[in-house]
Amino acid sequence: MASEVIIGRYVGSPVKIPSDRDAVSGQHVKISILDNGRWKLEDLKSSNGTFVRDENGEFHRVFAKQIQESDIIRLGNGGANSFVFAAHRAFAQDDSYVYEFKQLRKLLKHQKDKEMKQEKKIEITGWISKLSGLAVIGLCAVIGSIKGINIDPNTRYILIASAPVVVGLIFSGDTKRLKDLRKKKERILLCPKCGRPISEFDIELGQCSRCKAK
């Protein structure tokens, strides 16, 4: 037999939402477990929308969607008055957040792995930039050894000095991507109870230092 719950700021909501989360409607969303075991989410014409996070940590607005119990749902448009929780919380039998912190650790590892790859790419770019100047020096020497071809000293200096700059411009997007990854990590790592940004230390510890959820 199918099971369903309605989540919102009303008194009987199985997911307790703080009264100051004004972005959450009284009856905001319905989550159902169908007879075939699949989970379904339905927005109940809420004022500020229902959003589900994808595997990249980005939230997308939904109105009706098949979900997994591990999916992260946000009620509201992302401001301080929104509320974030894991779908399984709708039918959880206890008040612990062990499951959610486990998912947070996986997400944190995924984001840090992406950052490390980007940092390695930037490091390689740095070496390419340094070697480019030496390559230009060698090229000038080869050209200068060819009879009848002379490179003006000023031209040689400009070529040697500009080579690393050109390489840096070509790969300048790498640094921006790293900054974007770090900003994204701060944006998507949220406490499963209070919905506020949570530190890496708290995630590894398995407890929010603000609301004490664990």
Nearest to 156 by CA among 139, 173, 171, 172: 139
Residue identified by tokens 């050894």 is: 145
- pLDDT at site 42: 96
In this structure, the dihedral spanned by the alpha carbons of residues 117, 122, 127 and 130, taken in order and rounded to 10 degrees, is 180
Which residues partner with 51 through β-bridges?
61, 74
| Pairing between β-strand 72-75 and β-strand 50-53 as defined by DSSP bridges | antiparallel
Q: How deeply is 197 buried, as exposed, middle or buried, from its count of CB atoms within 10 A (0-12, 13-18, 19+)?
A: middle
CATH class of 3-91: mainly beta
- pLDDT at site 170: 56
- pLDDT at site 160: 55
- 87 or 145, greater pLDDT: 87
pLDDT at 31 over 90: yes
Percent of the chain with pLDDT over 90: 20
Q: What are the residue boundaries of the structural domains of the chain, listed by start?
A: 3-91, 98-205
- 31 or 168, greater pLDDT: 31
- pLDDT at site 63: 96
C-alpha angle 114/191/2, rounded to 5°?
Answer: 100
- pLDDT at site 1: 44
pLDDT in tens, 146-177: 555 666 666 655 655 565 555 555 556 677 78
- 144 or 193, greater pLDDT: 193
Contact (CB, 8 A) for 157 and 133: no
- pLDDT at site 193: 75
Contact (CB, 8 A) for 52 and 27: no
Nearest to 112 by CA among 192, 200, 171: 200
Question: For residue 89, what are its two tokens?
Answer: 């919380």
Least confident of 5-14, 29-38, 160-169: 160-169
pLDDT in tens, 34-92: 988 899 999 999 999 999 988 777 889 999 999 998 888 999 988 778 888 888 888 87
- pLDDT at site 107: 85
Region 105-109: what's the mean pLDDT?
Answer: 87
Mean residue pLDDT of the chain comes to 80
DSSP helix/strand/coil, 197: strand
Please state, in angstroms and rounded to a whole number, the distance separating the CA atoms of residues 128 and 121.
Answer: 11
Which residues partner with 62 through β-bridges?
50
63 Cβ contact list (under 8 Å, min separation 6): 42, 43, 50
